[in-house]
Amino acid sequence: RKEVEQDPGPFNVPEGATVAFNCTYSNSASQSFFWYRQDCRKEPKLLMSVYSSGNEDGRFTAQLNRASQYISLLIRDSKLSDSATYLCVLTNNAGNMLTFGGGTRLMVKP
Amino acid sequence: DGGITQSPKYLFRKEGQNVTLSCEQNLNHDAMYWYRQDPGQGLRLIYYSQIVNDFQKGDIAEGYSVSREKKESFPLTVTSAQKNPTAFYLCASSPQGAGAYEQYFGPGTRLTVT
């Protein structure tokens, strides 16, 4: 089993739609969780951290379920500019290394 | 402006040649990392360094070498021993040696070996 699993997509959605991605992980001792965004042929950039209580940043909401070992990202009112690959990222037991999922590709169409 | 620079953006080499990828940061970060990314796959850690003159192997270090003589610089050499060197190489840094937290990435180098 991969350490971090994501549906590669692509998820094709119309502008204004709500879309959600899930990510499952195998290391129950992982300390911290993040969503990174990667545009085509560019470097990844941190989108948001994920907290156990759930957190929201504008149109983006992230949730962590430690019991089931998954995290989720919800994007409301999708924009064309949201088209990208979303990487699920978590730290190792010691909290000093990152493990990256393969990413979920989102394509928002007009 | 503070950031991480990688050069060149695109690099082409013949099989059997060693090649060195540059990574420089002026963020005053202690830790630096090298990853490779293949199509449809996540980033895989090649080497990392948490302090000057010290570095550790990551998950896929075979066929690669690094040095960390200066805090700002962490060059990666792809040797002829690397069986599948064609990939997108990303360098990153983070502000704490002991905690990855947010990693800041350079723009990457696309290496093609034929």
For the stretch B15-69, pLDDT in tens is 999 999 999 999 999 999 999 999 878 899 999 998 999 999 999 999 999 999 9
Instruction: Identify all chain B residues contacting A42, using CB atoms and an 8 Å cutoff.
Output: 107-108
Confidence of residue A97 (pLDDT cuts 50, 70, 90): confident
| Of B96 and B35, the one with more pLDDT | B35
Whether the predicted pLDDT of A34 surpasses 70: yes
Instruction: Identify all chain A residues contacting B105, using CB atoms and an 8 Å cutoff.
Output: 43-45
DSSP-derived 3-state class of residue A82: helix
Mean pLDDT along residues A21-37: 91
* Minimum CA–CA partner of A37 in chain B: B105
pLDDT number for residue B98: 47
Whose CA is closest to A87, among A30, A7, A12? A7
> Using CB atoms, which residue from B45, B88, B105 is nearest to A97?
B45
Q: How many angstroms from the chain centroid is the CA of residue A44?
A: 12
A21, A48 in Cβ contact below 8 A?
Answer: no
Whose CA is closest to B5, among B66, B90, B101, B99? B90
Tokens 């850690």 label which residue?
B45
Measure the CA angle with vertex B60, ends B54 and B64; round to 5°.
Answer: 60
CB-based contacts of A21: which residues, under 8 Å, 6+ apart? A6, A7, A11, A72, A73, A86, A88, A104, A106
Report CB contact under 8 Å: A96, B99: yes
Q: Which residues of B fall below an 8 Å CB-CB distance to A?
A: 35, 40-45, 48, 50, 88, 90, 97-103, 105-108, 110
The CA distance from A90 to B57, in Å, is 19
Confidence of residue A24 (pLDDT cuts 50, 70, 90): very high
Instruction: Identify all chain A residues contacting B54, using CB atoms and an 8 Å cutoff.
Output: none
Report CB contact under 8 Å: A98, B100: yes
One-letter amino acid identity for A24? Answer: T
* Beta bridge partner(s), residue B56: B48
Average pLDDT value for chain A:
92
Measure the CA angle with vertex A9, ends A14 and B106; round to 5°.
Answer: 100
Tokens of A56: 């929201």
pLDDT number for residue B18: 93
A41-91 confidence digits (pLDDT tens): 899 999 999 988 889 999 999 999 999 999 999 999 999 999 999 999 998
